[in-house]
Structure 1
Amino acid sequence: MSGQRPKLLTFDAFAKTVEDARIRTTSGGIITLFCIFVVMFLIRNEYSDYTSVITRPELVVDRDINKPLDIYLDVSFHNLPCDLLSLDIMDEAGDLQLDILKSGFEKFRIVKDSEEEIIDRESTPINADLSIEEMAKGLKEGEDGECGSCYGALPQDKKQYCCNDCETVKLAYAEKLWGFYDGENIEQCENEGYVQRVQSRINGKEGCRIKGNARINRISGTMDFAPGASFTSSGHHVHDLSLYDKHPHLNFDHIVNKLTFGPIPDESVPTAESTHPLDNYGVALNDKNHVFTYYLKVVATRFEFLNGASKALDANQFSVITHDRPISGGKDNDHQHTLHAKGGIPGVVFHFDISPLKIINREQYAKSWSGFVLGVVSSVAGVLIVGSLLDRSVYAAESAIKGKKNM
C-alpha cells in the first residue's frame, strides 16, 4: 500500500495549503461578502424557477376529428331587422343546414332608443326541412277543405297545391324565384299580421342580435348571414333579396360579440384568452352592397393543469383574417392597386378551416429537483471561482503598488 501512495498523490485535485501561508486582506473580506450576497441571490432565483409553473405546448394528431364541433355565436346587426336575416351553414362534405335560426339560435330585436333587447319568436323563416309538396299539400279529388291561393306560383286548377299560410306562399314564391318583398296584398300574410310587423320594424329601423349554438362536422365549411329567406332551387343556394334591395338604409354593419368553437372556455384561465380573437370586433361602413368575410383557422386545444383537482379544459383556438369588398367590384378605396371581384350577395361570411392537429398545453414545474440542485451547485462554484480570481488580481495589484513605494 505504501508504494501506491505517491501515485495517488498525483491525482489529488484538492491540494491543501499550509495555514501559516495564508494572508488575510481587507479587500479579500469585501470580495467574500460580495460573493455571499451574489450566491444567496442566485440560490433564490434557482428556487423561484424550481417552484414556478410553466405551460409547455405539444402538437399531436387530433383523435377527435370525427366528433361534431359546437359553434357558439353572438353577433349584432344594428341596421337589419330579424325578419330579413337568415343564417346558413354548409361544410365541404356537402351537408347544408338552412335557416338554423329556427332551432339552435335565438333572435333578439334591437329597438332604437331602447336598451332592452326583445326576444323575437315571431320571425320564422322558410321551413327548409319540408318540401313544397309537404308545405302546399293539395286536396284530393272530391275532398272538401280550405285551399288558399298561391297567387300563380303553383298550379291550382285541380287544387293539387294549396297555400293556406304566409310561409307556404313564401316558399312557393321561392320555388318560382319570385321576389316576395313584405307580402303586401297577399291575404294570408295580411291576416297573420306579417305585413304590418315587417313594415313597422323596417320603418322603425330596428336591428337584430343573434346568439346560440350550432353543431357541425369537424371539417372545413362556411357560415354566412345573408338578407332574405334562403332556399335551394335547381341545386343552387339562393336568397330572396327583394325586400332588402327595396329599403336603402338596410346594411350589414355588425359587431361580433363572441364567437367560439367547441365548449366555451373558462374565463378564469389566462391561457384561454387567445381563443377569442373576434370578441367585440365590429365594422360600420354604412354600405348597403357590401360583403364582409372572415377566414378562420381553427385548431383544437387542450389545457392540462398541474393541480389534479382541476379538470382538463378542451377548447379551440383560431386565427382570423378579415376581408371586405363591395359586390359591385372595382378598385379598393384604400388600396388603389387592389381590384375586387364583382358579384355575390351582401352579407357576412365566416370561412372556417379545421386543422387535423391538436395542441396540448401541459402545466409543469420549470425545473426538476435534480435541476435545482445542479443549478445551486453551479451558482456557488461559479461565484467562488470568479471571487478567487478577483481576489488574486486585487492582491497582486496591491503587492505591486507596495513594491514601487518601497523602492
Structure 2
Amino acid sequence: MPAKSRFTRLDAFTKTVEDARVRTTSGGIVTIVSLLVMVWLVWGEWADYRRIGVKAELVVDRGRGEKMEIHMNISFPRIPCELLTLDVMDVSGEIQTGVMHGVNKVRLAPESDGGGVIETKALELHKDDATHLAPNYCGECYGAPSPPTASKPGCCNTCDEVRDAYASVSWSFGRGEGVEQCEREHYAEHLDSQRREGCRVEGLIRVNKVVGNFHFAPGKSFSNGNMHVHDLENYFKEEGKHDFTHRIHMLRFGPPLPDSVLARLQGGPGGGSVMGEKMNPLDGTEMVTQDKAFNFMYFVKVVSTAYLPLGWETQGSQKQLDARAASESLSHDSIGLGGLGMGYLGSVETHQYSVTSHKRSLAGGSDAAEGHKERLHARGGIPGVFFSYDISPMKVINREARGKSFSGFLVGVCAVIGGTLTVAAAIDRALYEGGQRVKKLHSG
C-alpha cells in the first residue's frame, strides 16, 4: 500500500466535495458575525494577557538590625514652638540621642489671625550648640552639675544647657530670670512673643526598627529615676490659652508608594483592595480639646510591606542580593534621608499600619462625656500627643504579576477560535434546515 494511503486513513479532518457544498445568505452573515466575535474575543484575551495584577503574600519578617523612617506633618495651633518638644524613645524607655532626622518647626500665626506661616527653623533633636561664644567662655550652671550633653565639660554655655542642668537634679526652671545665658538668648522674650502662636512639625526621623514611641509634649524633658518627665511650669503658668488640639496632616512609616502603584493596589484583583481602605489611616485626623491637662495617645501597629514590580524576580533579585552583600558593612546612615527603602527597578520597602487611639484628661474621672460612664481614667501624666508603635513579625509582599502566561494566552486564542466556529456552524446549520423546512411547508 502506498505511503500516501496510510496517512489518508489517519485523516481526522474529512473534506466534502465542492459540488456538494451549499452557500447561503444566512451562512455569509453568520460567517461575518463569527469573525467579528472572534476578533473581539481574541483582543480580550490579549488585553487579559497584558494586564498586570498584584498578588499579596504574607511571610515572616526575618529582617534584623534595620532602620525605619517616620514621616510626619502635624500642626498644633495652640502651643508655640518655643514650648513644644519632640522626644524619641525606644523599647527600653530611654531617649534616643543622635537620631538622624530632618525635622522643621514652623511657627504659625494665632488662629484668630488665620494661622499662617511665620518662620521655619530646623529642629535640633536633643542637641543645642553655641557656636557664637568665645572659645574660652564657660557659663555658670547656677548650683546644678553640668549636664553630660554640654558642649564644654563642666560648663553651661547656653540656656538649654542650664535647663538640662536643672532637669538633671529635678529643679524647676521657669522663665530663666537671672540666668545670664537665657537673658542673652532672650528666652523669656521668645516665650512672650510666641504666647498666642501655634506650631507645625514637619519632616522625618530615622529610628531603629524596634518597639518605641515618639511624643510631643511641652517643656524640657528629662529623666527622674525611672520616669520620663517634662518641665511643665511655663506651659501651665502662661496666661495664653495652650492645649494640644492638633491635626495630623500626614504620618507614614517608610517611603511613599507612587500614585500609579497605589491605584493598582487599591484596585486589587477582581476589583478588591490589596492595601485596604487607607495605607496611612491617621492622615487627616483632627483632635480638639479645651483642656490644658489633656493627653492623646495613638497605638500604632506597623506592618512591613514590600512592593516588587514586574520583572524584579529575573532582574532585580540578584541585584538586590549583590547590593545587600556589598552594603552589610555599611551603616544605614550612609543612605540619605528619604532614600531608605527605595530599591532596584522601582521596588519599595515601606510600611503600612493600623491604629487605635485613646484620650483622657489628666484630672482623671469617668468618661461620661464620651458616652462611657463605666470607663474611669487614671489621674496624672504628661499633657501631649503620644505615638507608641509596635512592629509586627509578619511582612506583606505585594508582587506584580501577569494574570496569564503566554501559553495560557495561546490556549485561550485556540479556545476562542474553535468555540466560535463550532457555535457558528451550529447556528448556520439550524438556519439552513429551518429555511428548508419552511420551503417544504410552502411548496406542500
Structure 2 length-normalised TM: 0.70
Partner of 2:251: 259
Q: 1:316 aligns with which of 350, 359, 366?
A: 350
Q: Determine the C-alpha separation between the residues in 1 that align with 2:398 and 2:346.
A: 10
Contact 2:248/2:286 (8 A) holds in 1: no
Question: Structure 1 residues 96, 191: closer, same or farther in 2, change over 3 A?
Answer: closer
1:72 alignment partner AA: H
Q: CA deviation at 1:32?
A: 1.6
State whether structure 2 residue 175 is matched by structure 1 residue 170. no
Q: CA deviation at 1:321?
A: 2.3
Q: CA deviation at 1:51?
A: 3.1
Q: How does 1:318-333 map to 2 (within 5 A)?
A: 318-327=352-361, 328-331=364-367, 333=369
Q: CA deviation at 1:147?
A: 5.0
1:53-86, Cα deviation, whole Å (9 max, x unpaired): 3344444444543222222323222211112212
Q: CA deviation at 1:41?
A: 0.5
1:110 alignment partner AA: L
Question: Structure 1 residues 6, 346: closer, same or farther in 2, change over 3 A?
Answer: same
* C-alpha RMSD over aligned residues: 4.1
State whether structure 2 residue 383 is matched by structure 1 residue 385. no
Q: Determine the C-alpha separation between the residues in 2 that align with 1:180 and 1:126.
A: 18
Q: Determine the C-alpha separation between the residues in 1 that align with 2:57 and 2:296.
A: 38
Q: Determine the C-alpha separation between the residues in 2 that align with 1:51 and 1:146.
A: 71
Question: Structure 1 residues 363, 164: closer, same or farther in 2, change over 3 A?
Answer: closer
Partner of 2:241: 249
Q: Determine the C-alpha separation between the residues in 1 that align with 2:431 and 2:200.
A: 77
Q: How does 1:156-195 map to 2 (within 5 A)?
A: 166-184=159-177, 189-195=182-188
State whether structure 2 residue 227 is matched by structure 1 residue 236. yes
Partner of 2:135: none
- Helix, strand or coil: the match of 1:311? helix
- Helix, strand or coil: the match of 1:83? coil
Q: Determine the C-alpha separation between the residues in 1 that align with 2:423 and 2:177.
A: 93
Identity within the alignment, %: 34
Partner of 1:281: 284
Q: Determine the C-alpha separation between the residues in 2 that align with 1:146 and 1:277.
A: 47
Q: CA deviation at 1:280?
A: 5.0
State whether structure 2 residue 409 is matched by structure 1 residue 372. yes
Q: Determine the C-alpha separation between the residues in 2 that align with 1:125 and 1:371.
A: 57
Q: Determine the C-alpha separation between the residues in 2 that align with 1:149 and 1:384.
A: 98
Partner of 1:341: 377
Q: Determine the C-alpha separation between the residues in 2 that align with 1:354 and 1:315.
A: 14
Deviates more, 1:39-48 or 1:337-346: 337-346
Q: Determine the C-alpha separation between the residues in 1 that align with 2:249 and 2:99.
A: 19
1:209-267, Cα deviation, whole Å (9 max, x unpaired): 22333222212222221222211111111122232233462122223333333345556
- Helix, strand or coil: the match of 2:353? strand
Q: CA deviation at 1:338?
A: 7.0
Q: Determine the C-alpha separation between the residues in 2 that align with 1:82 and 1:359.
A: 38
Q: Determine the C-alpha separation between the residues in 2 that align with 1:52 and 1:335.
A: 50
Q: Determine the C-alpha separation between the residues in 1 that align with 2:158 and 2:300.
A: 39
1:374 alignment partner AA: V
- Helix, strand or coil: the match of 2:201? strand
- Helix, strand or coil: the match of 2:345? coil
1:49 alignment partner AA: D
Q: 2:218 aligns with which of 222, 227, 246?
A: 227
Question: Structure 1 residues 386, 333: closer, same or farther in 2, change over 3 A?
Answer: farther
Q: CA deviation at 1:190?
A: 3.8
Contact 2:99/2:125 (8 A) holds in 1: no
Partner of 2:302: 297
Contact 2:97/2:126 (8 A) holds in 1: no
Contact 2:139/2:156 (8 A) holds in 1: no
Question: Structure 1 residues 168, 40: closer, same or farther in 2, change over 3 A?
Answer: closer
- Helix, strand or coil: the match of 1:86? strand
2:245 alignment partner AA: D
Partner of 1:136: none
Q: CA deviation at 1:178?
A: 4.7
Q: Determine the C-alpha separation between the residues in 2 that align with 1:169 and 1:386.
A: 91
Q: How does 1:354-373 map to 2 (within 5 A)?
A: 354-373=391-410
Q: Determine the C-alpha separation between the residues in 2 that align with 1:8 and 1:176.
A: 106
Contact 1:79/1:250 (8 A) holds in 2: yes
Q: CA deviation at 1:195?
A: 1.3
Q: How does 1:388-407 map to 2 (within 5 A)?
A: 388-407=425-444
Greater Cα radius of gyration, structure 1 or 2: 1
Deviates more, 1:35-44 or 1:386-395: 386-395
Partner of 1:134: none
Contact 1:260/1:316 (8 A) holds in 2: no
1:259-287, Cα deviation, whole Å (9 max, x unpaired): 33334555675469968625752414133
Q: Determine the C-alpha separation between the residues in 2 that align with 1:294 and 1:254.
A: 17
2:52 alignment partner AA: V
Unaligned stretches of 5+ in structure 2?
A: 129-137, 146-153, 267-274, 317-343
Deviates more, 1:235-244 or 1:290-299: 290-299
Q: CA deviation at 1:36?
A: 0.8
